Structure formats: structure tokens, C-alpha cells
Amino acid sequence: MKQRISSFARAAILVFLFVPVVLVASGTFADEPQKGPVNPALQDWLSGKSAASGASHGYVPAPVDWSHLSPIKTKDTPPAAFDLRDTDGVTSVKNQYSCGACWAFAACAALESWLKIHNGETFDFSENHMKNTHGFVLGHCDGGNNQIAAAYLSRWDGPLLESEDPYDPYSSTSPSPAPPPQKLLTYAPVFTAAGGDRTEIQNALMDFGALSTMMYYDDSRYNSADATYYSTASPGSEDHMVTVVGWDDAKSVSGAPGPGAWICKNSWGDTWGEGGYFYISYYDTLAVKEAAGFFHLESPNAYGRLYEYDPLGMTGYAGYSGETAYGANVFTAVENEAVVAVGTYALTNNTAYEITVYDSGISGGNFYNPVTTVSGVFEHAGYHVVDLPVAVNVVQEQPFSVKVRYQTPGWGYPLPLEGVVSGYAQPTAATGQSYMSGTGSGFVDIHAQGGGWANTNMCIKAIAAAPGLTVRIVGTGWAEEGQEVVLRSVLPVLVGDVVFEWYKDEAIIIGAETDTFVISSATLSDAGLYRLVVTDESKALYESDPFELIVFSEGSLPVSGVAALAAAAALVAAIAIARMRRTTRSVL
């Protein structure tokens, strides 16, 4: 497609086929990129299943499935019961009526939960806008999934307020032009309960908030007397999405082989179930095997222009028969501005990445003039935004490039792609946009290969600084006691001598007078909101948004999280595994 910036022009959707393709090129098989297969569940659904079959339906399988993921091992055993309702971590129950929009309700409920828990803000977001403007081949009531929600949110078309686009199950259009989004999504991880290991999803509920998940619903398997549900449906039968808000190990569910149930919020109104909630047995064959969150929501003025070629997000993946591959996008700057962050997807847990931004385009299959590089590990699969350690100034109408090296442990398709999926997604692309390589050199233009590679782009976004928002704090947003924490500033070009003032909970930190603030050994008392105020000889005053640091007791973070945080501290880099949990209130 054409380079997309903040406004996304939606075009009529056509139908083509996204299939595994081998690029015809010289060299061995390992040198030839291959697209991964489309999720068989989606192929089955497209063969005749329909999501729009009443209020109990609305889930459509995504082309990328996460069955290859394994749960991340954690140190701590979750408690026997947990319920976000007990801590005011949920918003009101809604009703999708006869429209297959459960996926939008589940996603909005997760968004609202995170903001309520972490920002103390209560929002009512518009499911109508999400279902009407998702941009896929599917109709407004045909259904959706977490990847469609992530695409809509990561291109910053939403979320909108319910009052800006009220829910109407019969409407297929929304206000145009739409109001600006209320928040900017920067983190959409995927969690798994593969092999019956529930701890990853349970810890995510405690750490972040409500999650969106899929299930199979059969009314004959529902017990209205105690709002419990248990099904033994076959894999691939999922047809509904709900919001997970907790669990109870002791909950008895009729027909299930043992106790224990997930606590879920439905979207059929508060007169259904237990005030709109119900309990799904741990032993249900399909429910809550995978869940997604939509977290780290920034204020609308936290970032500026969004450069992207993938408004439909990740609809496929590719690789070179190994765990490592390189992808890149070349953009043309709309105006003189500073690029401060990059967005992309991880196909596995603990994906290692290296992002390099260049102030030029591609020449002879390679990139030149690197300005900044940041590397780290994405603890969870899903969508991530990574802040750059140095702002990259780009020049109006001149090219700049973003290259990403992906290393996906145990997975041979590291490259996240937006491509054509027959009956599901019809994006467009052009030559000179997206490139790939198996070695980091000799990049090839993806769309220019033709065939099954036509209209395929890399899922790499470049994010510019917001006009006037020129000071940012980057660093690890959470740590354990005893760990080093490094908070750094990303600054504009300043004049002469610069004065730095760091604040914690609005009190100035005596002696903190440089562009970096270091806590050599974190304690619980170091948790709080940090802010940076900068002045220069021009007497201009710049203030950062608040940055929230959370300190956990020693030994409470996942093993992989500790290792990644230690690596981040050593590199002094803003890696997405420690994506900051800062508030989204602007102090400007």
C-alpha cells in the first residue's frame, strides 16, 4: 500500500489468496524465504462456517495461530483464587445483541481494565467503531479476533469513546473523519495455557488486568443455575470471545472431571449469568487456551506521526529455514521531524531483536548511515513498541529506513508480514517499501518479487515525536529489589548549557542533575512516578510525561523477565520486555 501516516484511507476490499510461497532465487534452500502456512482453523472457517449466527458467536480464527508457543515459567505459584471484580479492576457489562462483535467487546473490556487498574481512569470505549472500521474483508457483524483488534489499535484508529460512536448492532458505518483516538496502544502481548499450564495467564491477570480470549459456546453445556460452563468440543470449533477476569481453583462445574474455573465477563448484558459473568471449567477443551492483552496505553499526545505499511497488522509470517531473519521498511519523511520509537511484532516468546534506524534509503541491497541501534528481548509474543535511545532526525521528502533483526527461538518464521489472505484480508503494497534478508545483507524488495509476495509488507512501524513533546524518559518500568534501574532522557537539540531536574512523586531528587538517573539497588520505596524537567540557555523549559517505576519484592518476577531486565540494564536500552508502566497524563 502507499506509505500510511496518521490518517488511514480505507479502500474497498478485494479477495485474493495468501499461501505458502518459495521465492525463486539463486542459492541453497536456506537462502530462499518461505511464507508460513495459514492457520488451518481459518481455512476451515472460510470453507463454510459463519460467525454471524446470533449473540453467541463472533470469533473468526486469525491467519496466524499461536499453537507453537509454550508458557513462560514463573517462580511463584498463583493464589488459589483471584477476581478483578474484587479490586474494582473491571468496567460495566455490555450487550452485543445479535451482531457478531464479541471480539470488539472483549478487546475494549481489556483496554478499559488496564486503564482502570494502572491509571485510575474509567473509560467506556466504542465497540461500534472497532467493528465498523477494522478494515478487513469481513463484514461489520461477521466476527473478528485479537489480531484484528491489535491491528486497529496499533494503527491508532482507536479506541474512541462510546459517546463518539455509540453501539448499534445494525450499523455498518461510523463517523468520518473520526475523532482522534483516546489512547495509543504500545503493547499487545499473547499469553498461552498450552499443556494445561495456567500460570502464565494467571500472572498476566494479576500483573496487567483483564484479557481477551476465545471459546466454543453451546447453550446445552451452560448451567444457568450457577453460571458455569464446560464443553469437550473439538479443536477448531471456537466461535465466541469473552474477557477473562480471574479464576477459582475450588469452583465446582457440573460435568467437569475436577474443580477449578476461569471467571469470565461476557457481552450478553448484565441479566445473563452472574450479573454478566460466568465460570468456565479448567477442563473445557477450548476455552482460555490463549489470551491477549492490550496494555501500556499512552496519551494521544505521547507520540506524533505514525509511518507504516501494515494497517491490517500481522496476517502472516516468513523465514529462511532458521531462527534468524531480517526485515526492513524504507519510509519518506513527511516533514522535518524526529523518529523516537519503532513498532513491530514478535512471533515467539523471548524473541531477540535488534533495531537499527538509518537516515537514508537502500542502495545495492544494503542500508547505510545508521543513526541509532537498540537491542533486547521481547518476553512475550505479540505487538511491541520500542523507544529509541536516540531520536533520529529525518528530513522532509527524504528517505529513512528501519531494519529489524529477529531471532525466534525454536521457530523458523521470524518475519512478521502483512499479506493477502483470501476471504479475510486484502492489503496493498508497492515496490520500494519493504525488504527482507536471511543474512542482514543483500536485501530483496518483497512486493517486487511478484506472485505470492505481491502486496506483502513488513510489519515495522516508525513513530515520530509529538510536536512540542520533546523530552521523554525511557528505561525499565519494573524491577525487583536489588536490581539496578537506569532511567534516561531522550532530548531534542538544546542550546548551550543544559540543566536537568529529576522529580519523584513531584519532589525534586537532590543531586540528580544529569541526563541519566541511576538507582544502583532498587528498594520498594523507589517505586513511584518520575518526571524530568530540562532547561537550556534559551530559557525554554521542557517537561516529560510521568514515568511509573514499579518495584517487586525479590524473586517475584518471571525467570525470563529477570534475565531480560538484567540484559536491559547492562545495555542501558529501552527494551520492550520492560516497556514502561507509566501514566498517560500529560504534564505539559
Give the Cα separation of 263 and 278 in Å (integer): 6
Give the Cα separation of 427 and 316 in Å (integer): 12
Question: Residue 200's CB: how many other CB atoms inside 10 A?
Answer: 24
Q: Do 281 and 397 reside in the same domain of the chain?
A: no
Q: Do 164 and 185 reside in the same domain of the chain?
A: yes
Sheet holding 485-490, edge to edge: 472-475, 485-490, 516-519
Instruction: Look up residue 546 and give its DSSP letter.
Output: P
- Residue 286, in any domain of the structure: yes
Q: Do 458 and 488 reside in the same domain of the chain?
A: no
CATH number at residue 434: 2.60.120
Residues of the chain with pLDDT under 70: 1-30, 49-56, 75, 468-470, 493-496, 537-540, 557-588
- Residue 44, in any domain of the structure: no
Listed in sequence order, the residues at least 6 apart from 553 whose beta carbon sits closer than 8 Å to its beta carbon are 480, 481, 524
pLDDT, residue 473, reads 82
H-helix segments, 121-189 = 127-132, 146-154
CATH number at residue 552: 2.60.40.10
Listed in sequence order, the residues at least 6 apart from 486 whose beta carbon sits closer than 8 Å to its beta carbon are 475, 476, 516, 517, 518, 519, 569, 572
- Residue 176, in any domain of the structure: yes
Give the Cα separation of 66 and 111 in Å (integer): 21
- Residue 195, in any domain of the structure: yes
Q: Tell me how far apart the terminal alpha carbons of the chain are, to the nearest angstrom.
A: 36
129-182: per-residue pLDDT in tens?
999 999 999 999 999 999 999 999 999 999 999 999 999 999 999 999 999 999
Domain around 527: 472-578
Where among 445, 464, 483 does a domain terminate?
Answer: 464
SS3 of residue 489 by DSSP? strand
Cα–Cα nearest to 92, from 66, 116, 73 = 116
Cα–Cα nearest to 211, from 300, 347, 89, 97 = 89
- Residue 72, in any domain of the structure: no
Instruction: Look up residue 385 and give its DSSP letter.
Output: E
pLDDT, residue 51, reads 43
pLDDT, residue 537, reads 62
- Residue 35, in any domain of the structure: no
pLDDT, residue 578, reads 32
- Residue 378, in any domain of the structure: yes
- How many structural domains comprise the chain? 3
Please give the single-letter amino acid code of residue 461. K
pLDDT, residue 468, reads 63
Where among 260, 276, 295 does a domain terminate?
Answer: 295
For the chain, give the mean pLDDT: 88
Give the Cα separation of 256 and 269 in Å (integer): 26
- Residue 457, in any domain of the structure: yes
Q: Do 139 and 179 reside in the same domain of the chain?
A: yes
Q: Do 272 and 321 reside in the same domain of the chain?
A: no
pLDDT, residue 49, reads 56
C-alpha cell at position 201: 495467564
83-121: per-residue pLDDT in tens?
999 999 999 999 999 999 999 999 999 999 999 999 999
Q: Do 233 and 367 reside in the same domain of the chain?
A: no
Question: Residue 573's CB: how many other CB atoms inside 10 A?
Answer: 24
C-alpha cell at position 122: 474509567
Give the Cα separation of 279 and 423 in Å (integer): 34
Quote the longest CA-to-CA distance of the chain. 74
pLDDT, residue 557, reads 66
Give the Cα separation of 406 and 356 in Å (integer): 12
C-alpha cell at position 314: 500481522
Q: Do 213 and 95 reside in the same domain of the chain?
A: yes
pTM across the whole model: 0.78
CATH number at residue 236: 3.90.70.10
* Four-residue CA torsion sign, 314, 318, 319, 323: positive
Report angle CA 527, 528, 530 to the nearest 5 degrees: 120
Q: Do 120 and 253 reside in the same domain of the chain?
A: yes
Q: Do 422 and 384 reside in the same domain of the chain?
A: yes
Give whole-number Cα distances, 179 to 105, 160, 175, 296, in Å.
20, 7, 8, 21
Rounded to the nearest 10 degrees, what angle do helices 102-118 and 146-154 cross at? 60
Q: Do 288 and 316 reside in the same domain of the chain?
A: no
Give the Cα separation of 349 and 191 in Å (integer): 9
Q: Do 218 and 331 reside in the same domain of the chain?
A: no
Give the Cα separation of 102 and 131 in Å (integer): 9
Please give the single-letter amino acid code of residue 376. G
pLDDT, residue 541, reads 72
pLDDT, residue 57, reads 73
Give the Cα separation of 127 and 174 in Å (integer): 11
199-221: per-residue pLDDT in tens?
999 999 999 999 999 999 999 99
Provide the b/e sequence for 494-507 (b: ≥16 CB within 10 Å): beeeeebebbbeee
In 88-216, DSSP assigns E strands to 184-192, 211-215
Q: Do 406 and 260 reside in the same domain of the chain?
A: no
Where among 409, 437, 464 does a domain terminate?
Answer: 464
Give the Cα separation of 376 and 373 in Å (integer): 10
